[in-house]
């Protein structure tokens, strides 16, 4: 497998999943603005959406969209329990969290990274994110991870996007359970491995 990534982007989530699963994989860095890979390939020929992550499977098939990719990775090594078994109630709770992170947190960060977003709107976006962080904080008051005491791909995804908070001037101090979660996930050896590989440590 080959994962196309950009350092610190949401592609960190499947990178963490691959490390946690112990699967063999290659990395190819992407310049998402230029739509070129580090080796000079046209990234749009790999993923016409032009966004990371994308993963090329061993048979040449390409998967895009982080929540789909991380579930695929988890299902290759079910013994790691990175995702509950398909068809179980717990699997639907995993999908519930993946959807919440992708639609309510991940995408809410987008306007904060754009230079042409009006400051008034950035204030609104930060307020919206604060509300979403509150949902996570309440959940993480009950358990170490989003689905309980077992680390899953939802936790890797939440960690990746929550890492963007300092970059946009959002202090996580009002959400102590989220802060503790970030430290807990960051301390995992396989998460450290992914962070180091992306030059983030």
- Calpha distance 152→150 (Å, rounded): 6
> What would the pLDDT profile of 74-132 be if each residue is shown by its tens digit?
999 999 999 999 999 999 999 999 999 999 999 999 999 999 999 999 999 999 999 99
> What would the pLDDT profile of 31-73 be if each residue is shown by its tens digit?
999 999 999 999 999 999 999 999 999 999 999 999 999 999 9
Q: What is the pLDDT of residue 15?
A: 98
3 state SS of 154: helix
Give me the residue spans of the domains in the chain.
2-80+190-197, 89-188
3 state SS of 54: strand
User: Residue range 159-169: average pLDDT?
Assistant: 96
How do strand 54-56 and strand 26-31 relate by DSSP bridges?
unpaired
Q: What is the pLDDT of residue 93?
A: 98
Task: Extract the tokens encoding 7.
Answer: 């350092």
**The domain at 89-188 falls in which architecture?**
Up-down Bundle (1.20)
Residues near 171 by Cβ (< 8 Å), separated by ≥ 6? 165
**The domain at 2-80+190-197 falls in which architecture?**
3-Layer(aba) Sandwich (3.40)
- Calpha distance 64→15 (Å, rounded): 13
């Amino acid at each position: 497998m080959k994962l196309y990534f950009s350092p610190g982007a949401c592609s960190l989530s499947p990178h963490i999943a691959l490390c946690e699963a112990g699967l063999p994989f290659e990395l190819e860095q992407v310049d998402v603005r230029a739509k070129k890979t580090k080796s000079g390939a046209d990234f749009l020929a790999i993923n016409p959406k032009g966004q990371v992550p994308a993963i090329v499977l061993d048979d040449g098939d390409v998967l895009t969209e982080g929540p789909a990719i991380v579930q695929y990775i988890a299902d290759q090594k079910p013994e790691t329990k990175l995702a509950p078994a398909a068809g179980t109630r717990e699997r639907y709770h995993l999908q519930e969290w993946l959807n919440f992170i992708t639609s309510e947190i991940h995408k809410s960060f987008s306007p904060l990274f754009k230079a042409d977003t009006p400051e008034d709107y950035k204030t609104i976006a930060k307020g919206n994110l604060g509300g979403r962080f509150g949902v996570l904080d309440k959940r993480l008051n009950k358990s170490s991870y989003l689905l309980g005491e077992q680390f899953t791909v939802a936790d890797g995804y939440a960690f990746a996007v929550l890492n963007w908070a300092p970059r946009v001037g959002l202090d996580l101090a009002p959400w102590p359970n989220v802060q503790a979660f970030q430290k807990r996930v960051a301390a995992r050896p396989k998460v450290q491995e992914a962070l180091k590989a992306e030059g983030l440590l």
